[in-house]
Amino acid sequence: MMFKKRLLLGLALAISTVASQVSSAQIITSIERRNSTNTYPQIAGPLEQYAGIFVDRNYEYDQIPAALVGAEYIKVANNDKKTQYYELDVTLSQDATMYLLLDNRLGHGSGQGGKSGLGWNPYLYSAGMDWVVLAGFVDTGDDLSVHEYGTSAAYRWMSVYAKDVSVGTIPLLQQYDASTDRGRDRNMYGVAVVPEPTTLLLLGLGGLMLRRKYRR
């Protein structure tokens, strides 16, 4: 009986350790950008209030949905919003939920430089970004705000799109907004990832069941 209890306790501790390792391990292992000579993107994190957004702008994330707090993310080059054949490969070490953070002014045409995008939705087809929908990303209904230091409108708003992805390399494409002059008056889309929730949930439930059995 004592051996059985020790075995159950050992299994519970092992599962808890695995769950902790899964949640803390680096998810984005590498990134490869093509067809651009702008400042190269960087893997960053955690995503939180006042975290820097771009490698070439002094902009920060401000109001962030709870699902994204603590996420790993990529600091992209904002100038790549004007790169017509932009490609970004993101390689992941584990299954995850990937988020695209899309400027709400996308697809709304020219003359939006002074607008915040608050309450708007991006028009992806008008922007020439139908690849986002075709790749399986869906609008979560959440928005986040961007603090632009040194601009006429301090805050801009982005829509949060999400997709569950498997370990491996995820290809992403251009933002080059077809509805305006080479994507001017927009911010480049952001990328963030969090561990796949089902894996963490199953590991956590397994550990909880073993602990409850041990206590009996």
Number of Cβ within 10 Å of residue 213's Cβ equals: 14
What ranges do the domains of the chain cover?
Answer: 26-193
Under a CB-based contact definition with an 8 Å cutoff, are residues 45 and 23 in contact?
A: no
Instruction: Supply the pLDDT for residue 106.
Output: 96
Instruction: Supply the pLDDT for residue 10.
Output: 45
- Chain segment 149-198, per-residue pLDDT in tens: 876 667 899 999 999 999 999 999 999 998 887 677 899 999 999 998 65
Instruction: Supply the pLDDT for residue 126.
Output: 93
Nearest partner of 77 among 111, 31, 113, judged by Cα: 31
Q: Are strands 168-172 and 87-92 parallel, antiparallel or unpaired?
A: antiparallel
Q: Cα(155)–Cα(114) distance, rounded to whole angstroms?
A: 10
- Chain segment 110-163, per-residue pLDDT in tens: 888 788 999 999 999 999 999 999 999 999 999 999 999 876 667 899 999 999
Nearest partner of 86 among 189, 157, 193, 192, judged by Cα: 189
Rounded to the nearest integer, the mean pLDDT of the chain is: 85
Checking if the pLDDT of 20 tops 50, the result is: no
The pTM score is 0.82
Instruction: Supply the pLDDT for residue 114.
Output: 80
80: confidence class by pLDDT, cuts 50, 70, 90: very high
What is the share, in percent, of the chain residues with pLDDT greater than 90?
69
199: confidence class by pLDDT, cuts 50, 70, 90: low
Range 48-66 average pLDDT = 96
Nearest partner of 64 among 83, 45, 41, 82, judged by Cα: 45
